């Protein structure tokens, strides 16, 4: 591979979103005195949140609708009565508290140290701009990256090709010397491939897929086999 630039996704790729999010909700529930079993809530919330993020990537819901709707629909599914005012406070608390937690996937520092000596490293994320930088600072990985591109700064979201062409331009890179590493096949991998970049899928849960030509790793350190 004639690679000079490595672009990483952040959530679910380097930053352990599920673990940090669970801890955040524990803090949010305590701050708002909610009388709901947290584990029961999370079991309902996670698939609802997943669907809202899919709609968000597809430009079918706004950021505000995502932040409100994923909570409102979860409490409705649990038949738990809660005011819009409390949901609004929870949505703010969640994004405020989230960067306080800094669990990373195993091998994050080792692979970033390894790659930093050989390549320019960058981030491309669909996450909310106001929290992504805070997450990276809190988890002590911000300094590894030259450019940090958020979908909000572009105006569209991965897998829209505009995100990747914008990132290449900002990084002074080109598709032939760049590779994208991420967990989401649609947003990260297909998005990067659509503009001619190479890609590595972080398949940490070993989920089966039907793309036979897809380069896939089950841990971050396996990336060393390719870069």
Q: In this predicted model, what pLDDT tens digit does every residue of 152-209 receive, in sequence order?
A: 999 999 999 999 999 999 999 999 999 999 999 999 999 999 999 999 999 998 887 7
Q: In the structure, what pLDDT confidence band is assigned to residue 128 with cuts at 50, 70 and 90?
A: confident
Residue 94 has pLDDT above 90, yes or no: yes
Q: Is the pTM of this model over 0.85?
A: yes
Instruction: State the pLDDT at residue 170.
Output: 97
**In the chain, alpha helices (H):** 17-31, 38-57, 63-77, 84-97, 108-116, 129-138, 151-154, 161-170, 191-194
β 178-182/147-150 pair status:
unpaired
């Amino acid at each position: 591979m004639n690679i000079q630039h490595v672009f990483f996704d952040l959530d679910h790729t380097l930053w352990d979103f599920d673990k940090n999010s669970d801890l955040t909700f524990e803090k949010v529930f305590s701050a708002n005195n909610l009388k709901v079993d947290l584990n029961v809530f999370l079991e309902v919330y996670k698939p609802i949140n997943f669907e809202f993020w899919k709609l968000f990537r597809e430009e079918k819901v706004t950021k505000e609708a995502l932040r409100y709707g994923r909570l409102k629909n979860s409490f409705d599914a649990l038949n738990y009565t809660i005011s819009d005012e409390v949901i609004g406070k929870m949505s703010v608390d969640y994004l405020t508290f989230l960067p306080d937690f800094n669990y990373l996937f195993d091998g994050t520092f080792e692979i970033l140290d390894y790659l930093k000596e050989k390549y320019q490293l960058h981030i491309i994320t669909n996450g909310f701009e106001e929290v992504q930088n805070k997450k990276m600072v809190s988890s002590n990985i911000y300094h590894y990256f030259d450019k940090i591109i958020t979908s909000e700064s572009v105006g569209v979201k991965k897998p829209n090709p505009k995100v990747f062409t914008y990132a290449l331009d900002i990084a002074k890179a080109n598709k032939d010397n760049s590779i994208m590493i991420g967990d989401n096949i649609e947003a990260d991998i297909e998005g990067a491939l659509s503009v001619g970049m190479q890609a590595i899928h972080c398949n940490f849960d070993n989920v089966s897929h039907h793309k036979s030509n897809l380069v896939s790793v089950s841990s971050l350190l396996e990336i060393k086999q390719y870069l």
